[in-house]
Amino acid sequence: MRLQPSEKRPKRRSIQPTIENGAGYPLTMVKGLGRLGSALCVLILLSPLGMSENPTADDAPQIIIDQNQGLFVESSLNISGTYIDEDLPVSLRWKIFNGLELIDEGDLIDSLTETGDSHESSRNTWGYSLNLNFSSYAPCSCLLEIRAADANNQIDVAQLILFSQGEELSQLAPRIIFENPPDQLTGTVEINAIAMDDDGLTGAQWAISNSSEIAMSCIQSWIESPESVHWYNMTVIIPNSDPMWSLDTTDYDDGGYSLIVRAVSDDGLTSPCACLTVGIDNHAPTAKIDGPTEVNETAGVIQFDGSGSSDQYWGREGLVFLWVLDGGSDGQIIESGADYRTFEVDASQSGHYTLTLTVADNAGFSDTISHQFNISNQAPVARLSVGGQHLEDGDIITLVENQQWLIECGDSMDTENDRAGLICTWYIDGEPVMTGWERQLQKPEDLSKSHTLMLEVTDDDGDSDEITVTFGVQGTPSDPMYNADTEAGSGFWILMVAIGAILVVLSITMVLVRHFSGDSAVIPKWKRE
């Protein structure tokens, strides 16, 4: 089947993805279940296959050739086109190949003239022209190559297939060129290539090789047909001026290869081979998460490591990581980025969590793994004070006579995230009566017995701690130190002391009465011998 000659069109250029974000990696963070689908789209967009051109201060140059592919030249031809960039090129050269042989070359910088027609914002355009005399080239299955380089060594190449019969009639071999050459192949892929002979579009063949010798030859871009490869007929998808060809690479392992294509005319002539170094990726990567399964909420920040994730051949550097955390009060948290290997979780919030990691490679293959972990709550520690005095569980206290006393729990302890949410509940004799960090304990109506004061401190996770003390009012039976028998005994001894004092007073009174009554006895006198 003979295809139709191509129409005039601008040269396409391969756009290399750029990844820029502060530290060199893109980072996206999303909260909410409803945005998981968006995050998956972000993962695709951040992967090398999904990334579009990111405008920079200096784009690569672009060369456009005005002439159609496959022109048949009688004697001479004027080549014209456009150079697009921010500034003039550092280098702009042309070469003509007849088969594999370089037959002519030159410089195009001096031919550049500014057109003022801006194709893109901040970019300028210059026109160029080149006169070629094919009388000295014929017969020729020729390829014109124009190569430009800017000040940052960014390069663009435009190619044009030309045929010239010359005075002697002869068979002209076909030619083939890549347009938008691929750098990675996966499964069944589409290749944009133009295969032509002097009658128009023709058929093509392809081969893939992992030979180091062929790989070295591919540095020259054009090689003779190697004998060590198996050729497959390329299947045309769009048989028009911009044909697409289908290649099936599913039987190849992941790795680096040489992609070789050649044009084949109806009469069996073959072209020089166009050769590219490409990568084949037909296998999904493996996702792996390293991290704890049980932590306490006092752990601060815990880190999960996805560095063990890898692609079978291509390693880890080209992977895009998508982390999804479920279980927290903030809802679903999603973070993603190129080579974003670690994920940090604030351990201050207890609960059961599921962390899911999806890694995607350059070909869009992905693998997903989930890791479950618990953040355990730390129970609070109750602290009770009455009238400014700190008490311990089981303490027995006597309160000085008053109508009320200040009770506090403000010194109770918990983790920083839970402390502000602590709830203090106060119990009298086992009955809850009030809540709050500071309250007034009212004098009990019943002072015939001691009472209990219990403080229960509860955090927002429902864990609690408590302190119970026994109290009473001084001088009343409620005082834990009060004893009725002791009080009765004390009264008896007071009475005995009083009776004794009365008896002493009576005795003294009787003596005094006798002394002053006049019936005093005569004092005997003794006779001395």
Quote the number of domains for the chain: 2
Q: What is the pLDDT of residues 202-217, one digit of tens each?
A: 999 999 999 999 988 8
Distance CA 208, CA 249 (A): 9
Average pLDDT, the chain: 82
Reported confidence tier of residue 527, pLDDT bands at 50, 70, 90: very low
Reported confidence tier of residue 430, pLDDT bands at 50, 70, 90: very high
Q: What is the pLDDT of residues 266-278, one digit of tens each?
A: 888 999 999 999 9
CATH code of the domain covering residue 406? 2.60.40.10
Token pair in block for residue 323: 């982390």
Which residue pairs from 164-169 have beta carbons closer than 8 angstroms and sit at least 24 positions apart in sequence? 164/72, 164/73, 164/74, 164/134, 164/137, 164/138, 164/139, 164/140, 165/72, 165/138, 165/139, 165/198, 166/134, 166/135, 166/138, 166/139, 166/140, 167/138, 168/139
Cα-based torsion angle of the residue sequence 211, 212, 214, 218 in order, rounded to the nearest 10 degrees: 130
Q: Of the candidates 171, 188, 221, which is a domain's last residue? A: 171
49-63: buried (b, 16+ CB within 10 Å) or exposed (e) per residue? bebeeeeeeebbbbb
434-446: buried (b, 16+ CB within 10 Å) or exposed (e) per residue? eeeeebebeebee
**Residue among 367, 87, 98, 371 at smallest CA distance from 222:** 98
Q: Which pLDDT value is given to residue 109?
A: 94
- Residue 519 in any domain: the answer is no
Q: Which pLDDT value is given to residue 521?
A: 43
Q: Which pLDDT value is given to residue 54?
A: 46
Residue 495 has pLDDT above 80, yes or no: no
Three-state SS sequence of 391-440:
ECCCCEEEECCCCEEEEECCCCECCHHHHCCCEEEEEECCEEEEECCEEE
Q: What is the pLDDT of residues 463-475, one digit of tens each?
A: 899 999 999 999 8
Q: Of the candidates 171, 195, 212, which is a domain's last residue? A: 171
- Residue 478 in any domain: the answer is no
Q: Of the candidates 146, 171, 196, which is a domain's last residue? A: 171
Determine the average pLDDT of the residues in 155-162.
94
Residue 223 has pLDDT above 60, yes or no: yes
Helices (H) and strands (E) in the chain — how many of each? Answer: 4, 37
Domain that holds residue 132: 1-18+53-171
Determine the average pLDDT of the residues in 44-57.
48
Determine the average pLDDT of the residues in 162-167.
84
Distance CA 71, CA 198 (A): 8
Determine the average pLDDT of the residues in 426-454.
93
- Residue 180 in any domain: the answer is no
User: Pick the residue with more confidence: 116 or 349?
Assistant: 349
Q: Determine the Cα angle at 511 with ends 509 and 514, to 5°.
A: 110
Which pTM was predicted? 0.62
Alpha helices per DSSP H over 134-245 = 212-217
Distance CA 196, CA 314 (A): 36
Q: What is the pLDDT of residues 225-266, one digit of tens each?
A: 898 899 999 888 766 666 788 889 999 999 999 999 999 998
Q: What is the pLDDT of residues 307-325, one digit of tens each?
A: 999 988 888 888 999 999 9
- Residue 440 in any domain: the answer is yes
Q: Which pLDDT value is given to residue 55?
A: 45
Q: Determine the Cα angle at 304 with ends 301 and 310, to 5°.
A: 160
3-state class (DSSP) for residue 478: coil
